[in-house]
Structure 1
Amino acid sequence: MTTEPSTTAPSTTGDAFAGAVPFSGPRFHVEPAELYRELRRDHGAVAPVLLDGDVPAWLVLGYRELLHVTNDPVLFSRDSDLWNQWDRIPGDWPLLPMIGRKQPSILYTVGERHRQRAAMMSHAMEAVDPFELRRTAERYADRLIDSFCARGRADLLAEFAMLLPVRVLARLYGFTDEQGPALVKAINDLVDSTEDAIAGQTHVFTAMAELLELKKERPGPDVVSRMLADRYDFSDDEIVQDMMVMTVAGHQPTADWIGNSLRLMLTDDRFAASFSGGRHSVGQAMNEVLWEDTPTQNIAGRWASRDTRVGGRQIRAGDLLILGFAAANADPQVHLEGGGPTHGNNAFFSFGHGEHRCPFPAQEIAEVIARTGIEVLLDRLPDIDLAVAPETLVRRASPWLRGMTRLPVRFTPTPALGDRP
Structure 2
Amino acid sequence: MGPRFHTDLEAVYRDMRRDHGPVVPVTLPGEVPAWLVIGYRELYQVTTDPVLFPRDQGLWNQWDTLPEDWPLRPMIGTRQPSVYFTVGAEHRRHLAMVQHALETVNHIELHRTAEEIADRLIDSFCGAGEAEIVSGYAKPLPLLTLARILGFPDSDGPELIRFLTDMCDGGPDALAGFERALALMQQLVATKHAAPAADVVSAMLGHPEEFTDEAYALNLMAITSAGFLPTADWIGNSVRLMLTDDRFAASLTGGRHSIPEAMNEVLWEDTPTQILAGRWAARDTRLGGHTIARGDMLLLGLAGANGDPAAHTHDSPDGLRNSNFAHFAFSHGEYQCPFPAQEIAEVIARTGIEVLLDRLPDLELAVPPSTLARRPSPFLRGMTVLPVRFATTPPYGGH
TM-score (structure 1 length as normaliser): 0.92
Tell me how far apart the structure 1 counterparts of residues 85 and 46 of structure 2 sit (CA, whole Å): 16
1:193 to 164, 170, 180: 170
Query: 1:156 — aligned with what?
Result: 133
Gaps of at least 5 residues in structure 2 are none
Tell me how far apart the structure 2 counterparts of residues 271 and 246 of structure 1 sit (CA, whole Å): 31
Tell me how far apart the structure 2 counterparts of residues 231 and 29 of structure 1 sit (CA, whole Å): 46
1:86 matched to 2:70? The reply is: no
Query: Aligned letter for 2:349?
Result: A
Please state whether the residue corresponding to 1:150 is helix, strand or coil: coil
Query: 1:362 — aligned with what?
Result: 341
Please state whether the residue corresponding to 1:77 is helix, strand or coil: coil
Quick one: structure 1 residues 386 and 401, their matched pair in 2 at CA, closer, same or farther if it must change by over 3 Å? same
Please state whether the residue corresponding to 1:213 is helix, strand or coil: helix
CA contact (8 A) 1:292 1:329 kept: yes
Tell me how far apart the structure 1 counterparts of residues 296 and 318 of structure 2 sit (CA, whole Å): 35
Shift of 1:87: 1.1
Quick one: structure 1 residues 419 and 401, their matched pair in 2 at CA, closer, same or farther if it must change by over 3 Å? farther
Shift of 1:232: 1.1
- Runs ≥4 in structure 1, deviation > 6 angstroms? none
**How is 1:40-51 mapped onto 2 (pairs within 5 angstroms)?**
40-51=17-28
Please state whether the residue corresponding to 2:24 is helix, strand or coil: strand
Please state whether the residue corresponding to 1:300 is helix, strand or coil: strand
Tell me how far apart the structure 2 counterparts of residues 240 and 342 of structure 1 sit (CA, whole Å): 38
Gaps of at least 5 residues in structure 1 are 1-23
Task: Quote the sequence identity (%).
Answer: 59
Query: 2:222 — aligned with what?
Result: 245
CA contact (8 A) 2:47 2:334 kept: yes
Deviations 1:165-203 (A, max 9, x none): 001000000011111111011111001111111110011
1:64 matched to 2:64? The reply is: no
CA contact (8 A) 1:77 1:304 kept: yes
Shift of 1:129: 0.7
Tell me how far apart the structure 1 counterparts of residues 276 and 305 of structure 2 sit (CA, whole Å): 12
Cα RMSD of the aligned pairs, angstroms, is 1.5
Tell me how far apart the structure 2 counterparts of residues 109 and 132 of structure 1 sit (CA, whole Å): 32
Query: 1:21 — aligned with what?
Result: none
Quick one: structure 1 residues 77 and 419, their matched pair in 2 at CA, closer, same or farther if it must change by over 3 Å? farther
1:416 matched to 2:395? The reply is: yes
CA contact (8 A) 2:248 2:257 kept: no
Tell me how far apart the structure 2 counterparts of residues 334 and 358 of structure 1 sit (CA, whole Å): 21
Tell me how far apart the structure 2 counterparts of residues 105 and 32 of structure 1 sit (CA, whole Å): 32
Please state whether the residue corresponding to 1:97 is helix, strand or coil: helix
Greater CA drift, 271-280 or 392-401? 271-280
Tell me how far apart the structure 1 counterparts of residues 255 and 100 of structure 2 sit (CA, whole Å): 35
**How is 1:80-229 mapped onto 2 (pairs within 5 angstroms)?**
80-229=57-206
Tell me how far apart the structure 2 counterparts of residues 332 and 279 of structure 1 sit (CA, whole Å): 27
Tell me how far apart the structure 1 counterparts of residues 168 and 297 of structure 2 sit (CA, whole Å): 18
Please state whether the residue corresponding to 2:116 is helix, strand or coil: helix
Tell me how far apart the structure 1 counterparts of residues 97 and 222 of structure 2 sit (CA, whole Å): 13
Tell me how far apart the structure 1 counterparts of residues 352 and 176 of structure 2 sit (CA, whole Å): 30
1:380 matched to 2:363? The reply is: no
Tell me how far apart the structure 2 counterparts of residues 195 and 339 of structure 1 sit (CA, whole Å): 42
Matched positions, count: 397
Query: 1:344 — aligned with what?
Result: 323
Query: 2:373 — aligned with what?
Result: 394
Query: 1:3 — aligned with what?
Result: none
